[in-house]
Amino acid sequence: MKLPVYNQQGEKIGEEEFPKEIFEVPLNPDVVHQVVVSQQANRRVIRAHTKGRGEVSGGGRKPWPQKHTGRARHGSIRSPIWKGGGVTFGPRKERVYKKKINKKMRRKVLCMVLAEKARKNSLVVLQDLTLDKPKAKILAEILKKLPCKDQKSLIALPQMNTSIIQAARNLRGVQTVQAKDLSALDLLQTHYLVMPKSSIKVIEKTFIRSKD
């Protein structure tokens, strides 16, 4: 598939042929939905947690005798009906939401989403992306010259680049990720995908040619 290639000044310097195994995969919405839901579930962080009667403090002895006090019988102040007692059927941090998706299916869906980005002109391929200094202002000026402009964008880097990562931290709506760590969920959460040509080679090597 032929895609336009831009330089850092926002000028289109030509078109290049890129792997059809990545950018010509037909979209299957049902499969994409399955993979995205699983990735959302796997990223879910469980924070809500309540203590049961066996975890709250106090209640080492019977609060008062069983009989002859005129009051209802109780065995422990840890009972859920007492203030400060345990919680019945409350949320627990032991809940597991993780879902398993086959690696082959996950990689296929990634290519589907990449192909859809290319078809909708939401993919910006750069000849190269370098910064002299890790400054957000410099990176912002580069992005404004590209088709993505002020839209929410994800920058896929061919390798770890601390200058670009640090510069993107202070830019609203701009995120960075290494090309080898791309996921369908990351792509669907942003409007544009910006990446140097070398990132496509990393994607091909990691998700297409890899036999792991």
Pairing of β 12-17 and β 153-157: unpaired
Indicate if the pLDDT at residue 154 is higher than 70: yes
Q: How far apart are CA 196 and CA 167, in angstroms?
A: 16
Tokens at 141, concatenated: 């000026």
pTM for this model (two decimals): 0.83
| Residue of 107, 111, 108 lying closest to 22 (CA atoms) | 111
Indicate if the pLDDT at residue 30 is higher than 90: yes
Domains and CATH numbers, the chain: 2-43+101-208 (3.40.1370.10), 45-96 (no CATH)
N-terminal to C-terminal alpha carbon distance within the chain: 26
Can you state the percent helix, strand and coil of the chain, rounding each to 5? 35, 15, 50
For 121, residues 6+ apart whose C-beta sits below 8 A from its C-beta are: 147
Average of pLDDT values for 122-147?
Answer: 94
Residue-wise pLDDT tens digits, 50-104: 999 999 998 789 999 999 999 999 999 999 999 999 999 999 999 899 999 999 9
pLDDT of residue 59: 79
Lowest mean pLDDT among 55-64, 119-128, 165-174, 184-193: 55-64
Residue-wise pLDDT tens digits, 107-122: 999 999 999 999 999 9
Distance of CA 118 to the CA centre of its chain: 20
Indicate if the pLDDT at residue 25 is higher than 80: yes
Order of strands across the sheet that contains 2-6? 12-17, 2-6, 123-126, 192-196, 153-157, 174-178
Q: Given pLDDT bands bounded at 50, 70 and 90, which one contains residue 149? A: confident
For 78, residues 6+ apart whose C-beta sits below 8 A from its C-beta are: 53, 54, 56, 58, 59, 85, 86
Tokens at 69, concatenated: 């006090």
Helices 162-169 + 136-145 axis angle, to 10: 90
Q: How far apart are CA 65 and CA 151, in angstroms?
A: 70
Average of pLDDT values for 34-45?
Answer: 95
Indicate if the pLDDT at residue 155 is higher than 60: yes
